A and B are shown apart, each in its own frame.
Chain A
């Protein structure tokens, strides 16, 4: 049983050497193993900043508040330490890394996260099995990381890593964006498998209700202007789908 606890998190984006802009204005959320928390909100509300700040992207600075995983202070950890502690961020825009093959990358990541190299025989089999379930071309493993991948292939690649690295907590940053219905289903099934096999907690960031038909949320949080403005169960997502974010945006503007 793991718990990711975010308390009064305030953070800014670093614009250049001198300027920064506050994005997160006090976020509180607690995620336990096996729970799916959907974070929904309009574009520019700070959803992705929340995920990137937890993962430790150098572009963001924590101004106050805390993030702990099973009591350990995540904010004190380097990016790689956070991953080894059990956090995983499926990125909205995964980068292409020329010259580094996917197979080499996956093995290095698995070795780092587990603290020992995976057994060669079972590893190759595991990679192949996950690739097949995600309907990925096995030849992709020999290509450089994300190089020349389509948007959908990049998202599958993120979920492939999720399944192989078996984190305690997954942060999914708009994993559904740019996916057609088939790809969305395949990717969602991957997330559900990872959740079942590892009792993983999930923070699912999305703009749309669509992915929630495949990944059932236990809690839905409405995010606007850098904070959570409403919380509820799955029914809240349905309401958002019908009513949109207008009333939250208007409320924030009037504040």
Chain B
């Protein structure tokens, strides 16, 4: 009889021991990027994220040794898909396990306000720099679970205005024109920028909506010429868009002496490739270090994150790195985005685990208390997530030269930093 009891006890114990790991709480994270759709084919986001998460789970040590179960979705730049994916994952995974989610566009943030901040209460990292969501009128008090990975567009434009104020040498007030896309993106931050320019005593001589579908920028540039604008802030466009090249090429011919300026996505490698010499002298803001000059071989190695990203890409994606524009990593900037999400997820979850609170609330606390240098991304400077944005930005200047390569004239150069990293939370606008 005793034997039987021992046997049953041993059996039950074995079941408990075996079932233990199987039923242990998993750490799950959902990430979504626009890897295809109207913005084109951008697998680099996914490549960076996959390489980053694989590194995190292996060489990176996971979350204090625990592996992260990560999900990656391509939402095709469609907010409806982003919302639907998130809703599906929330239904399929328990609140105890799905601890964080990431998204990429304002269009997805808006319909999810209630779901994320009130129903699910899940920390959400986003690629949106929306002033409306993350600026003074939004922010942590209104959207406690939303976090952005960059300074708001309003602050980006203000930083440019401030730069003008500090560097304006001509007589009289600076005469500035605003050119923005008729999209939620283009309209976001522009009113704050205009208000700030007026506050500093600038003449705001033009506010022009220049559409993505433009085939000509002659009228817009002639307006800037008539109004004798000295600076133009070009906002709400990707550097890769044809309309950006149309504007830059036309502006360089019609308003030769105007200072072209722009926000994060215009400060990019593709703008150099498509606008070529017209991009020379451009002054723009970026929330990440510039990482991809032309040719790629001459990338600046003084930024730790830039070096890390190139090392990662070369190690884990040697073919894609080599192929570059021919079906490979076209722009390291996109790869860096995916990679930084992975690093941020690891850092947040590890902090939460260290606090002994590996829950959604614990993750939120970890983000709110975070003070981090983001693996040296901001030249060693640390940021805090108090404003729920990574408030860092830097101002760059385009330096482009045409050189003969084989039988072609090709642009070479990049954008070089002309200021130190600026913490917009510390600036009094």
Q: Do A and B come from one complex?
A: no
Contact surface of B with A, Cβ cutoff 8 Å: none
